[in-house]
Amino acid sequence: MQETDFGRRLVAEALGTFFLLATVVGSGIMGESLAGGNAAIALLGNTIATGAILAVLILIFGPISGAHFNPAVTLAFALRREIGWGQGGVYVLVQIMAAVAGAVIAHLMFDQSLIQSSTNMRTGPGQWTGEVVATFGLVATILGCIKAAPQAVPYAVGLFITAGYWFTSSTSFANPAVTIARTFTDTFSGIHPDNAALFIAAQLAGAVAATFIMGWLLKRP
């Protein structure tokens, strides 16, 4: 692959992950400010915005970079040998940096301190299980749609995350870059830094399990 082509892929990953986090954090701030203390309404606003932007971003950037926006997804494609480990590592670095930048720009838009440290505790076996389930489902959605209906990937991913916000105990982070960035926001969508490592471990476990199980399920006879 030419260096310029890889550069375009990295810019696409950066822009997509940036807008994803700006949406996650920004809609959380907006939802909480308008909900009058009703957490369900705040979560609903956060959910709708996140699911919608995912569909849009994958439609825009999918043809360029594959629209991973997520180290767990990049790991799945590396395990499938659809991206090299070296290139995948650069993807992950760009995703994390762009995710943090997205959180920062959300703070700027809402006149908040640019860098914060979350005090929102999200921990325990139930939430870790939720992250395994959420990430397994996300990777399974992507791999299954690529096999059966590639054109449906943007909508399927958006819908799965929309559902995941409500059916998983963790509200479906399902993304290590998102998790890291959300430690830097002490707002509705934040996660305490001490809780991030086990969330990420659960996400990676779910991604690996989905990669191998879906690989077996989708294998041609």
CATH for 165: 1.20.1080.10
From CA 31, how far away is CA 49, in angstroms rounded?
10
Residue 3: the pLDDT is: 62
Q: Which of 75, 106, 69 is nearest to 182 (CA)?
A: 106
Encode burial over 128-165: b for 16+ CB neighbours within 10 A, e otherwise: bebbbbbbbbbbbbbbbbbeeeeeebbbbbbebbbebb
Please tell me the total count of domains within the chain. 1
pLDDT of residue 75: 98
Give the pLDDT score at 164.
98
Residue 189 has which token pair? 């969508």
For the whole model, what pTM was predicted? 0.96
Structure tokens at 123: 């921990």
- Sign of the dihedral through C-alpha 6, 2, 139, 141: positive
pLDDT of residue 220: 76
Question: Rounded CA gap, 54 and 146, in Å?
Answer: 16
Positions of the chain with pLDDT under 70 = 1-4
Render pLDDT for 67-120 as a digit per residue (tens, 0 to 9): 999 999 999 999 999 999 999 999 999 999 999 999 999 999 999 999 999 999
In which domain, by residue range, is 98 found? 3-217
